[in-house]
Amino acid sequence: MEAMNNPTTRFLPQCETVLPPDEAAVTQAVRRAAAEKRAVYPVGGATRLAYGPPSEVPGIALVTTALNRVIEHAADDMTITVEAGVTLTEVTRILALKRQRLPIDVPQPTRATIGGTIATNTFGPRRFGHRTVRDYLIGVRAVDGRGEVFAGGGRVVKNVAGYDMPRMLVGSMGTLGLITQVSLMVRPAAETAAMVAATLPDVHAAERLIARLMQSPTWPVSIDLLSSGWGYEDTGETVHDVEQVQLLAGFEGGWAEVRGDVDFLCQEWKNSSAHKVRVFDEADTPGMWQWMADLPAQLQAHVLPSRAVTLACRIAEIDPGCALLIHAGDGIVKVRLSDEAVSDLPSLLTTKLRPAAEELGGNLVVLVAEPAGVLKRDDVWGKSHNAGEVMHAVKGSFDPEGILNPGRWVF
Amino acid sequence: MAHAPIIADLRRNLGTAGVLYAPSDLAVYDCDAFTVARRAPDAVVFPATTEQVVAVVRTCRKHKAPIIARGAGTGLAGGATPLHGGVLVMLTRMNRVLEVSLPDRMACVEAGVPNIQLARRLAGTGYHFAPDPSSQGASTIGGNVATNAGGPHTLKYGVTVNHVLGLEAVLADGSVLTAGPVENPSMLPFQTILCGSEGTLGVVTKVWVRLTRNPESCRALRAVFPTVDNATATVSRMIAAGIIPAAMELMDRGILEAVEEAFHFGFPPDAGAVLIVEIDGPEAGLDETQRRIVEFCRGGSACEVLEAQSAEEREQLWKCRKLSVGAVGRLNNSYIIQDGVVPRTRLPHVLRRIADIAIKHRVRIVNVAHAGDGNVHPILLFDQRDREEVRRALAAGREVLGECIACGGSVTAEHGIGVEKIEFMEKLFGPSDLLAMRRLRDAFDPLGRMNPGKLIPA
């Protein structure tokens, strides 16, 4: 039973697990695998193993969690260098000691590693204000598919010497190199945070408020639209009308500016069609961001921000039982499908869901390829770009034998 | 060369007005703003569309000719110098702003659109394109992408790569790659890989840029310090205290003298260094931030702190920074503006070392710096006619960059490697790091025709 619940066994083939204590051991493990033509599956905190279809190529699971040293927190330079297996919670804790932070929302931060966050380009609601880990990554060390170490970038916040190898690895799913160490620039801690939430009669009311919010004098770091069905009710609100939607705007910064923005927005939203407006204070707001980051969405679509609500409405027509979370400022729609839709998923993806995103100029990927084995590679990742040839050439340069995470991403 | 088959092919594709090949026409394209290395191209072409760029790339492929992309030619590292001859692709006719979508906070421009043209187009919309290199009056967005350009406001807003949502590029095989503007998790992030690639991975033809909302409010102040040390120590203390202004610019006595002589801003004659600090954001928090900055400056021995009281006064403060490099021309007939970067706490140290190096090599060096980023721009003055002086200036420049590496920094923060700094790549990176970069380049351009001789040593 435990084996069945363990995503390592469901998404990776029967694997030997290797837990290298340092970069040299990573190199050795990859070299050995390359010589034996076995696959290497990078595993961090194992929080996102269902992101990508299961692989059947035999190999080793290379678990990075023992690469957990903090190399240097140069607090006065506002940079930090850590090994890839350090968890986000640990990064947060160390930075907080010097009133600094890395403002990235990641699901299960106590387990999620910084290396995994970079390889999957994981983000959450504050992406609107703080963007993704890509904008903080200034240096990297990684091991390619030959078992050779390469470094790029450095420990300075501004650097254009050579190609941007660090950012090349963001979102590359461990297929070009196994990240062993990263340098990040960090931000000063925010003095305070708050969130304003409005319960609205329908999505069109929300769309109007979002448009006004984007033009308003306030500076939100997150703008999220939640349909019913996520259990937002459990956070203290009872939402009886299933048609209702919640619009949440989060703020971070100095006391005066956050208070100014919250007061302004409360006033504006109270004068709108909102049924109810409430404010989360600084004690509850970080929890709300984390709660949204942790929501179990199965699909993620990207479109231009102005088209996000339109796409969400189309998805709701295709699967009326779905739950939707829209990062409205970024054009990102996250979807939890109804059981009915899940039962018909491969065909629904191909014939309706993905075309809906593509017709609006966007794309759609599967975040959680459950049940394991039902969805194939193209079902999960789609084929919505023209870069296939050069991507394969890049892949061939870094991993000529194709041993890094085979079958899990587009390679 | 008119009879050369490649010229005939280029003229067939671009028309006679789209191709230059007479030696007298080519001479002016023998370098960009890095004037030390020169070589004229074999032809200069002026495509007006992506299709024409494709035709040029295919023609060059057929004739085995190098391809060098060029925007306004303001690059300071020789990135657009046709070191091995070949066809120089001028992108300045691709100068249309194709779309501005404020709800998406995005604009789509052709690569040859000057940075300032986009800025003007956005005036009054409440949004702007954040990268503001000193060359912004001339430099193109495509060039900004190719060098991953910065500017004073990168301290708060980031460099070009942070503001590129997507791009279109013609690759070495003549195919057209489109990445973005909508992020695609099933694709490598080409819009970031091509940023700063100096035309070695492809010719960027179109860019989707992120638009940044204009801040609600803005404050600027000028603090005069008795010594550079006082100023740099103040910068380090402010950053360490978590104050990240929009911009924090340093000018030392040498550059102040030039500025003062040229423009009479009224700096105290005994000023050792001046900091210009700009903060922006919601009005609500600015007074408090400004108060703290003034406190840091006074605590750092500033002998004068002047807070701009109006937009005009703020403009005036910036004017002395923006005119400073130009004013250097008054001091000497030639200069090299260097671009080094160190961890921010090492700024006081590196500026002290630069002063030592100037004495050692008997070269006059004056400094401007994006101080908040640890990015120094020492300006080495020399007389180009005096070969001995040129030699000493180059030696001093190399030593300054060596010091940046020794401090854990890098030899370029925003100007690029080009030809100027290619020798430093082996000091900055190990053999396996450079091999990985070469492999990336080979993946895009296996025949090595895109801007050969740049960015990474062969």
Number of domain units in chain B = 4
Does B431 map to a domain?
no
pLDDT beyond 70 at A2: no
ipTM at complex level: 0.95
Q: What is the pLDDT of residues A278-319, one digit of tens each?
A: 999 999 999 999 999 999 999 999 999 999 999 999 999 999
Contact A77 B413 (CB under 8 A): no
Contact A302 B185 (CB under 8 A): yes
What does the pLDDT read at residue B211? 97
Give me the CATH number covering residue B76.
3.30.43.10
Q: What is the pLDDT of residues A140-169, one digit of tens each?
A: 999 999 999 999 999 999 999 999 999 999
- The reply to whether A391 touches chain B by the CB within 8 Å rule is yes
The whole-angstrom separation of Cα B207 and Cα B227 is 43
Q: Which residue has the tokens 């191709």?
A: B19
Residue A191 burial (10 A CB sphere; 0-12, 13-18, 19+): middle
Q: Which of B90, B124, B152 is the last residue of a domain?
A: B90
Does B167 map to a domain?
yes
Quick one: what percent of chain A has pLDDT higher than 70? 95
Among A135, A259, A302, the residue with its CB nearest the CB of B158 is A135
Does B409 map to a domain?
yes
Strand B273-281 and strand B340-341: the pairing is unpaired
Does B347 map to a domain?
yes
Give me the CATH number covering residue B225.
3.30.70.2190
Across the A:B interface, residue pairs with CB atoms under 8 Å apart total 248
Instruction: Please check whether residues B268 and B167 belong to one and the same domain.
Output: no
- What pLDDT band is residue A210 in, cutting at 50, 70 and 90? very high
Q: Which of B213, B241, B268 is the last residue of a domain?
A: B213
Q: In this structure, are residues B158 and B244 in contact, taking their beta carbons and an 8 Å threshold? A: no
Instruction: List the 256-285 stretch of B: residues with Cβ below 8 A of A.
Output: 281-282, 284-285
Instruction: Please check whether residues B250 and B312 belong to one and the same domain.
Output: yes
What does the pLDDT read at residue A239? 45
Q: Which of B297, B326, B355 is the last residue of a domain?
A: B326
The whole-angstrom separation of Cα A350 and Cα A378 is 9
Mean pLDDT of A228-235: 71
Identify any residues that bridge with A247 across adjacent strands, giving them in sequence order. A198, A225
- What pLDDT band is residue B327 in, cutting at 50, 70 and 90? confident
Instruction: Please check whether residues B137 and B237 belong to one and the same domain.
Output: no
Label residues A258-286 b or e (16+ Cβ within 10 Å = b).
Answer: bbbbbeebbebbeebebeebbebebeebb
Which residues in A lie closer than 8 A to residue B370 (C-beta atoms)? 158
Comparing alpha-carbon positions, the chain A residue that sits nearest to B280 is A257
What does the pLDDT read at residue A31? 98
Mean pLDDT of A337-349: 94
Comparing alpha-carbon positions, the chain A residue that sits nearest to B126 is A215
Mean of the per-residue pLDDT values of chain B: 94
Q: Which residue has the tokens 């710096």?
A: B369
Instruction: Please check whether residues B295 and B319 belong to one and the same domain.
Output: yes
Q: Where are the alpha helices (DSSP H) in A61-175?
A: 88-96, 114-120, 127-130, 165-168
The whole-angstrom separation of Cα B355 and Cα A187 is 32
Does B457 map to a domain?
no
Contact B285 A256 (CB under 8 A): yes
Instruction: Please check whether residues B180 and B236 belong to one and the same domain.
Output: no
What does the pLDDT read at residue B223? 95
Instruction: Please check whether residues B83 and B188 belong to one and the same domain.
Output: no
Give how far the C-alpha of residue B132 lies from the chain's centroid of Cα atoms, to the nearest Å. 9
Strand A15-18 and strand A39-43: the pairing is unpaired
- What pLDDT band is residue A243 in, cutting at 50, 70 and 90? low
Tokens of A298: 């199965």
- The reply to whether B226 touches chain A by the CB within 8 Å rule is no
Range of the domain at B31: 3-90
- What pLDDT band is residue A3 in, cutting at 50, 70 and 90? very low
Give me the CATH number covering residue B371.
3.30.70.2740
Instruction: Please check whether residues B316 and B390 belong to one and the same domain.
Output: no
Instruction: List the helix and strand counts (H, then E) for chain B.
Output: 16, 19
> Alpha-carbon dihedral of residues B177, B179, B185, B187, nearest 10 degrees?
20
Q: In this structure, are residues A112 and A104 in contact, taking their beta carbons and an 8 Å threshold? A: no
Q: Which of B296, B309, B317 has its CA nearest to residue B222?
A: B317
Q: What is the pLDDT of residues B172-224, one digit of tens each?
A: 999 999 999 999 999 999 999 999 999 999 999 999 999 999 998 999 999 99
pLDDT beyond 60 at A397: yes
Among B150, B176, B417, the residue with its CB nearest the CB of A162 is B417
Quick one: what percent of chain A has pLDDT higher than 90? 87
Instruction: Please check whether residues B125 and B185 belong to one and the same domain.
Output: yes
Does B432 map to a domain?
no
Q: What is the pLDDT of residues A167-181, one digit of tens each?
A: 999 999 999 999 999
Q: What is the pLDDT of residues A46-105, one digit of tens each?
A: 999 999 999 989 999 999 999 999 999 999 999 999 999 999 999 999 999 999 999 999
Q: What is the pLDDT of residues B354-367, one digit of tens each?
A: 999 999 999 999 99
The whole-angstrom separation of Cα A151 and Cα A166 is 8
Instruction: List the 381-420 stretch of B: residues with Cβ below 8 A of A.
Output: 408-417
Does B109 map to a domain?
yes
Mean pLDDT of B417-441: 96
Instruction: List the 347-386 stretch of A: residues with Cβ below 8 A of B.
Output: 361-363, 365, 381-386
Does B190 map to a domain?
yes
Instruction: Please check whether residues B255 and B275 belong to one and the same domain.
Output: yes
Mean of the per-residue pLDDT values of chain A: 93
- The reply to whether B150 touches chain A by the CB within 8 Å rule is yes
pLDDT beyond 70 at A240: no
Which residues in B lie closer than 8 A to residue A157 (C-beta atoms)? 341, 344, 373-374
Comparing alpha-carbon positions, the chain A residue that sits nearest to B435 is A150
Q: Which of B115, B68, B329, B272 has its CA nearest to residue B209?
A: B115
Instruction: Please check whether residues B351 and B286 belong to one and the same domain.
Output: no
